[in-house]
Amino acid sequence: MIVVMKSHASEADIQAVIRMVEDLEYSAHVIRGVERTVVACVGEERGEAHSLQHLESVSGVERVMPVLRSFKLASREVRPEGSRIIVGGVEIGGPRITVIAGPCAVESDTQVNGAADGVKSAGAHLLRGGAYKPRTSPYTFQGMEDEGLVLLENAGRRVGLPVVTEIMDAHDIELVAEHADMLQVGARNAQNFSLLRRLGKIKKPVLLKRGMATKIEEFLMAAEYILSAGNPNVVLCERGIRTFETATRNTLDLNAVPLLKEWTHLPVLVDPSHGTGVWSLVTPMALASIAAGADGLLIEVHPDPLKALSDGPQQLKPKRFAALMAALKPVALAVGRTL
C-alpha cells in the first residue's frame, strides 16, 4: 500500500500514520517528495491487510493506493502456459476453438432435440440450454426446471455432446451436477459469493460469466472464490457489460479478452448472443471474439426463434449458426487456431 499525505499534512500526522502502519505489522518507508510525502507500507498486502485502506479516514491522509492486484490463484503467474479444462471429454483452452451452442431455455423435448441436431451437425462441441432461467420479470417463463434438466441431458447424449446449464441456487448444485457436464453461473450471480463458494466444493467445471457491472479485476476475484475453495476447473465468459449505449442490449467488452489472457491462466470464452442482444450482430462479433484471442464461444441457437419463450431476438436459426461456423473457420486459422 502507498499512503499519500495531504500537502499540508503536519509532521505529527506523518508520524501518526507511521505508528498505525507499524501497529498493523507492516514496515513503513517514508519518501518526502516536492509536493507530497508518501508512506510506502511493506508486508503481505492481501486479506486483512486491506485494513490499511482505512488510513484514508486519518487526519492528513489524502489517499491510500493498493499496489497489488488482489487475485492470486487465478493469476497468470501461477501457470504461465495457461490452463486447459476438460468438460465431458472436450478440452477448453487448447489450440482448438470450443463452441458451446444451444437454446437460451429448454422449452420442450422437440425444441431441445431440434436445437441439438442443428448445433451438432454444424460442428459445435458442447450443447447448452437453460432449465432454470433468471428472468427480469416474475411474470415471464421461468424455465422447465428439473424436467428441463433431464431433457437437456438426454438430447446431449443422443447427439453425443456434453451439456452445460445454468445454476441459480446453491440448493440445486447436487442435482444439476448429476445431469450436466458443466455448471454455468450467470451474470446476475457473478458476485453471489455463497453460490461461488459452494461451487468450489465440487469438481465439475464451472462456466463463470462476467457480471453486468463487474470490473475485470473483480471478475477474477469471483473466480478466486471458486478456485480458493478447491475447484480448479473454471472457465471465464465475457458477455457484455452495461453502458449508456441502448442500441444494443449490452456492450461486448472484447478488450477484456486479450487483457484476461495476460492476467490469468484460465480459458476465456465470449457470448456474443447476450453481448449484442441482436441476432444480426452475433456472427460478426463471434468472428471478432476469436480474432481478439478468445478460446471459444457461447452461441444461442433455437430451431424457431420467433416462438422462443425467452431472448428470441438474439437466438440464431440452425441454418444461420451453420453459416457462422463456416465463417469462423478461416478466422480461427488466420490467428493460428483450429476449429
Residue 212 within binding range of its own copies, rule CB under 8 A: yes
Q: Which amino acid is it at 81? A: E
Angle between helices 318-334 and 109-122 (to 10 degrees): 30
What's the CA gap between 287 and 123, in Å, rounded?
16
The C-alpha cell that represents 23 in the structure block: 501497529
The pair phi, psi for residue 9, each rounded to 5°, is -65, 140
Number of chain residues interacting with its own copies (CB under 8 A):
113
Q: Is residue 227 within 8 Å of residue 201, measured between CB atoms? A: no
Residue 94 within binding range of its own copies, rule CB under 8 A: no
Question: Which stretch in 101-109, 111-119, 158-166, 273-281 sits in contact with its own copies by CB under 8 A?
Answer: 273-281
Nearest to 217 by CA among 181, 154, 262, 163: 262
Residue 268 within binding range of its own copies, rule CB under 8 A: no
The C-alpha cell that represents 145 in the structure block: 426446471
In this complex, which beta carbon is closest to its own copies, that of residue 81 or of residue 246?
246
Q: Is residue 135 within 8 Å of residue 93, measured between CB atoms? A: no
Nearest to 265 by CA among 291, 290, 234, 231: 234
Place of cell 448472443: 273
- Which of positions 167-196 make contact with its own copies (CB under 8 A)? 168-171, 188-189, 191-194
Question: Which stretch in 109-117, 123-131, 144-152, 275-283 sits in contact with its own copies by CB under 8 A?
Answer: 275-283
Which residues 6+ apart lie within 8 Å of 330 measured at CB? Answer: none
| Shortest Å, Cβ 209 to its own copies | 13
In this complex, which beta carbon is closest to its own copies, that of residue 40 or of residue 177?
40
What's the CA gap between 6 and 33, in Å, rounded?
12
What's the CA gap between 129 and 1, in Å, rounded?
45
- Which of positions 148-167 make contact with its own copies (CB under 8 A)? none
Query: Which helix (DSSP H) or strand (DSSP E) does residue 335 occupy?
Result: none
In this complex, which beta carbon is closest to its own copies, that of residue 90 or of residue 131?
131
- Which of positions 97-116 make contact with its own copies (CB under 8 A)? none
Report the b/e string of 85-115 with b at 16+ CB within 10 A: bebbebebbbebbbbbbbbbbbbeeebbbbb
What's the CA gap between 230 and 143, in Å, rounded?
30
Residues in the chain: 339
Residue 55 within binding range of its own copies, rule CB under 8 A: yes
Work out which of 110, 121, 255, 338 binds its own copies, going by CB under 8 A.
255
What's the CA gap between 10 and 18, in Å, rounded?
13
Work out which of 146, 229, 232, 323 binds its own copies, going by CB under 8 A.
229
| Shortest Å, Cβ 85 to its own copies | 20
In this complex, which beta carbon is closest to its own copies, that of residue 164 or of residue 222?
222
The mark string for 3-42 relative to its own copies (x by CB under 8 A, - otherwise) is -x--xx-----------x--------x-xxxxxx-x-x-x
Work out which of 225, 239, 273, 274 binds its own copies, going by CB under 8 A.
225
| Shortest Å, Cβ 116 to its own copies | 21
Residue 135 within binding range of its own copies, rule CB under 8 A: yes
In this complex, which beta carbon is closest to its own copies, that of residue 88 or of residue 314?
314
Residue 57 within binding range of its own copies, rule CB under 8 A: yes
| Shortest Å, Cβ 151 to its own copies | 20
| Shortest Å, Cβ 159 to its own copies | 25
Query: Which helix (DSSP H) or strand (DSSP E) does residue 59 occupy?
Result: none
Nearest to 243 by CA among 234, 235, 252: 252
Work out which of 11, 81, 203, 247 binds its own copies, going by CB under 8 A.
247
Residue 123 within binding range of its own copies, rule CB under 8 A: no
| Shortest Å, Cβ 56 to its own copies | 4
